């Protein structure tokens, strides 16, 4: 007789498991009700409320359980370099092989699924910059509900600057739709911009609803119902575009992240030429073959273009520019103006700057005198001119300031006169 295997659950883990399963069941019930409901004018308010309920439940699913410290399981990978790129995809689509090709870091690759079980980082040296590339385990359908290691993979993806969705060119387009749906379920919006909706909670005054144009998807009544579903009774909301109900819910939730994504179709050597041509013409898509090393240089160029990194070279006064080690800026990490450039060098440098001289594509003429708000572009050269320090004594009778103490109590008392 083999010994019976018993698994012991603590009270905390059991409560967490039961709570998670309860939320997932509620989400599935609401999704089934939405599937049964016909879409027309009479049911749009009901469908809007159901969408708000699902968004609230999915937010609860991602939050740590009450009474915990907030730290959950994940992949501990320190940020390094000037940008971070995450590889996301189904198992056995070539993520590990792509990491090895681009970075030289060995990541185990095999013909069976789930070869990679943890996060493996690598560094891409491209255009004098260092870009961190993360090989993440493959995710499956239902990853947003915690299946596999989906939540940890998605958490690392949220901390990245850009996502590379690796797909198999020989398989159906359903994989791309499944992955996009899983990422949207946890608040990741791929290749989208934040909706132009102003929303602010207030303490009193009720709900103020305004719009700068005619709305076709949302009206005042539907907006009130969604806000009441979130128990918000005092708020100010302004629509600057014809947004949908989903856009309104994203603004109310306030925890959505809008990221750029490149769809990388691997294994084009086993697909037909017509399929490869169709995939290559889709927006934000690149076709490659890791087996034959095809089109990898185009992938790096597209990744560089989407990340929007700006290299700025320094020029000491009276010397040639230093083209060896650029200062790398980006809109997602601080900004790309002169003030951000000075902060990158040293925090205390901004207050000493008189003006800067700029050579490059951002300058109207070379060199151009610029202030702290001037926007820099790739491969600009910047020379910082500091303010001159004033002498303590001044010059002649035109003294800039006095050496006398500022306060009366600090003055030295003179000795009494002798009588």
Q: Could you give the dihedral angle defined by the CA atoms of residues 272, 172, 180 and 16, in that order, rounded to the nearest 10 degrees?
A: -140
Q: What's the whole-model pTM score?
A: 0.76
Let me know: does 47 contact 39? Beta carbons within 8 Å: yes
Give me 320's structure tokens. Answer: 């040639």
pLDDT of residue 285: 93
**What pLDDT digit, counting tens, does each position of 355-404 carry?**
999 999 999 988 899 999 999 999 999 999 998 865 544 555 555 566 66
Q: Where are the alpha helices (DSSP H) in 104-235?
A: 150-158, 174-185, 220-229
8 A C-beta contact, residue 83 and residue 161: yes
pLDDT of residue 154: 73
pLDDT tens-place string over residues 264-305: 999 898 888 898 999 999 999 999 998 888 999 999 999 999
Concatenated DSSP letters of 233-258: -SEEEEESS---HHHHHHHHH---EE
Count CB atoms within 10 A of the CB of residue 13: 11
Please give the Cα distance from 312 to 335 (Å, whole number). Answer: 12
Q: CA 297, 303, 306 angle in degrees (round to 5)?
A: 145
pLDDT for the residue 2 = 41
**Cross-strand pairs, 16:** none
DSSP string over 163-225: EEEEEETTS-THHHHHHHHHHHHTTEEET----SEEEEE-SSS-EEEEESS--SS--HHHHHH
Would you give the DSSP letter of residue 231?
T
pLDDT computed for residue 6 by the predictor? 42
Angle at 119 between CA 260 and CA 96, to 5 degrees: 80
Instruction: Single out the residue of 342, 364, 339, 263 nearest to residue 306, CA to CA.
Output: 263
pLDDT-flagged residues of the chain (< 70):
1-21, 61-76, 108-117, 140-151, 389-405, 419
197 close to 239: Cβ distance less than 8 angstroms: yes
């Amino acid at each position: 007789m083999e010994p019976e295997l018993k698994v012991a659950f603590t009270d905390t883990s059991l409560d967490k498991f039961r709570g998670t399963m309860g939320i997932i069941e509620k989400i599935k019930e609401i999704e089934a009700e939405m599937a049964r409901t016909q879409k027309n004018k009479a049911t749009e308010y009901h469908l809007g409320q159901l969408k708000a309920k699902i968004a609230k439940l999915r937010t609860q699913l991602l939050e740590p359980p009450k009474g915990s410290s907030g730290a959950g399981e994940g992949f501990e990978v320190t940020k390094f370099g000037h940008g971070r790129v995450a590889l996301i995809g189904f198992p056995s689509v070539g993520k590990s092989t792509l990491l090895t090709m681009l970075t030289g870091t060995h990541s185990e690759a095999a013909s069976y699924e789930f070869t990679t079980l943890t996060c493996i980082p690598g560094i891409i040296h491209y255009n004098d910059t260092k870009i961190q590339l993360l090989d993440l385990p493959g995710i499956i359908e239902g990853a947003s509900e915690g299946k596999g290691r989906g939540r940890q993979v998605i958490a690392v993806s949220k901390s990245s600057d850009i996502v590379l969705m690796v797909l198999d060119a020989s398989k159906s387009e359903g994989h791309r739709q499944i992955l996009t749906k899983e990422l949207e379920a946890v608040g990741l919006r791929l290749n989208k911009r934040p909706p132009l909706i102003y929303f602010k909670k207030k303490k009193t005054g009720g709900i103020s609803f305004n719009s700068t144009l005619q709305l076709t998807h949302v009206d005042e009544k539907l907006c009130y119902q969604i806000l009441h579903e979130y128990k918000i009774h005092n708020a100010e909301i302004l629509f600057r575009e014809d947004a949908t109900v989903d856009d309104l819910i994203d603004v109310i939730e306030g925890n959505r992240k809008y990221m750029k994504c490149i769809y990388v179709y691997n294994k084009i050597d086993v697909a037909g030429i017509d399929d490869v041509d169709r995939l290559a013409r889709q927006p934000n898509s690149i076709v490659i073959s890791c087996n034959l090393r095809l089109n990898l240089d185009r992938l790096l160029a597209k990744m560089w273009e989407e990340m929007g990194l700006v290299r700025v070279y320094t020029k000491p006064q009276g010397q040639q520019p230093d083209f060896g080690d650029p200062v790398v800026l980006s809109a997602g990490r601080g900004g790309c103006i002169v003030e951000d450039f000075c902060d990158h060098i040293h925090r205390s440098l901004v207050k000493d700057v008189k003006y800067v001289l700029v050579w490059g594509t951002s300058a109207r003429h070379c060199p151009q005198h610029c202030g702290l708000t001037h926007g820099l572009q790739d491969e600009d050269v910047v020379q910082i001119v500091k303010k001159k320090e004033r002498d303590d004594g001044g010059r002649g009778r035109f003294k800039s300031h006095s050496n006398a103490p500022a306060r009366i109590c600090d003055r030295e008392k003179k000795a009494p006169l002798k009588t």
